[in-house]
Amino acid sequence: MAPDVPDGNAVPSPSGGAEDTGRVLSAEERSEYERLRRSATLRHRRTRRLGASILLLVALLLAPLAVVSAWVHDTVSDTDRYVETVAPLASDPAVQKVVINRLTARVVEQVDVEAVTASLTKVLADADAPPRVVAGSEALTGPLTSAVRTVVRRNVERVVTSDLFQQVWEGANRRAHAAVLRMLTGERKGALRASGDAIELDIGSVVDQVRQRLVDQGFERAALIPDSDRTVTLFRTAELARAQDAMRVLDIVGTWLPVLTIALAALAVWTAPGHRLMLLITAVGIGLMMVALLIALLAMRRVYLDAVPVATLPPDAAAAIFDTFVRFLRDSTRTLIVVAVATALAAYLYGPGRAAVALRSGVRRGAGAAGRGLGRAGVRVGPVGRRLAARRSWATGIVIGAGALALILWNHPTVGSVVLVLVLVLVALAAVAVLVAVAASAPPREGAASGHAAP
């Protein structure tokens, strides 16, 4: 008995097979069925495309906010990062000039030159000096003031331009930032800390030193000084709780908003019917948003410089301060632009474009020629190379994934680090291609000799 052969025009079952209904679809019924199936597939693709577009739009809108929030979080919550941010200001010539001018003016204000000249005039008059000399001493106020200013400025300039000022600057900023951070986070460590709505100063170490010095000087009863009341309340403020709440929000937003943005972008690529095309669109979109962020920073810089009065801060010093504070934000933005360009280029090169196909063909020919040359030179890859050749797509994916993971785990990657990782990935991919070519050029008897004998 001949086996039953399903008719090509039979009504398909829901499971995908053919359901034996006892009759054959007519041409019109078959055409209608195909039309409905194409319509359902089209609706499914449109739904996926719409969902991917919405996810991508949200990711693109969040991308600049994620970069800024991560930068603010690192600067505010990390003392080392904050000190690294403000450290260059101590060696900036424009900022040094402002510090020198203000310190010189402050010191000269404390010197009463008029009182000095008046005393000199009185001494000369009491000593019966000639009237001409006494009258000349009264005119020394201007020259003496100029001389004092010159001497003070020379000494202030020597200090401000020295390495000592750089060390003092970094140390003062580190201590101040650590103290403020402890207050904002409610950490009960250090000399300055927050308790409720009060800012307290811990003087315990001072009490211990005073008590020990008194004991060393013979006041034995000083050892009975109690350890109570070792804190002094400096002031109370109702805004402290709000500042601490803002710090907690910043900690959450700065940590999770970048993660959410990356997740939405990845989900958009996964949801789209064409993964490669959506990856290309996502990379271009992220790159454009980073360019827009750089333009916004330039506009903010212009607004800031226009808002700072010249009497308060010279334009060159104001520009140096702004550029120093946002330089890590600019570096992160430029790094993301390079990553976006590299990702978009990779997505294009894996596509059907004429230039991409020609480039891939050229690379394959080059790798094949190199592999054949190494094979003729006696280079053999062994079983590992043959397994690699059999799983070339897996090896390529692992290399690219390792490069992406390296950038994700890199602490504050820069353009240089991205270029380094990209070069290493390209070298690894070229090595894989050459190894595959060497394995393909190996004589057939090598594979047979390395395996078990055929039965």
Three-class secondary structure assignment of the chain? CCCCCCCCCCCECCCCCECCCCCCCCHHHHHHHHHHHHHHHHHHHHHHHHHHHHHHHHHHHHHHHHHHHHHHHHHHHCHHHHHHHHHHHHHCHHHHHHHHHHHHHHHHHCCCHHHHHHHHHHHHHHCCCCHHHHHHHHHHHHHHHHHHHHHHHHHHHHHHCCHHHHHHHHHHHHHHHHHHHHHHHCCCCCCEEEECCEEEEECHHHHHHHHHHHHHCCCHHHHHCCCCCCEEEEEECCHHHHHHHHHHHHHHHHHHHHHHHHHHHHHHHHHCCCHHHHHHHHHHHHHHHHHHHHHHHHHHHHHHHHHCCCCCCCHHHHHHHHHHHHHHHHHHHHHHHHHHHHHHHHHHHCCCCHHHHHHHHHHHHHHHHHHHHHHHCCCCCHHHHHHHHHCHHHHHHHHHHHHHHHHHHCCCCCHHHHHHHHHHHHHHHHHHHHHHHHHHCCCHHHHHHHCCCCC
Token pair in block for residue 282 = 């996502």
Selected residue with higher pLDDT from 289 and 220: 289
CA 12 to chain centre: 56
Residues in the chain: 455
pTM of the shown model: 0.73
Q: Is residue 184 within 8 Å of residue 199, measured between CB atoms? A: no
pLDDT tens, residue by residue, 118-148:
665 655 565 666 666 556 555 555 666 677 6
The share of the chain scoring above pLDDT 70, in percent, equals: 66
pLDDT of residue 32: 66
What confidence score (pLDDT) does residue 244 get? Answer: 66
pLDDT of residue 377: 77
Q: Which two tokens stand for residue 379?
A: 């280079």
Residue 99 banded pLDDT, cuts 50, 70, 90: confident
pLDDT of residue 7: 47
Contact 195, 211 (CB under 8 A): no
Buried b (16+ CB within 10 A) or exposed e, 234-254: eeeeeebeeebeebeebeebb
pLDDT score of 280 more than 90: yes
* Cα distance between residue 112 and residue 135, in whole Å: 19
Please name every residue paired with 42 in a beta bridge, in sequence order, or none if there are none. Answer: none
pLDDT of residue 1: 42
Which is higher by pLDDT, 333 or 223? 333
How high is the pLDDT of residue 209?
Answer: 63
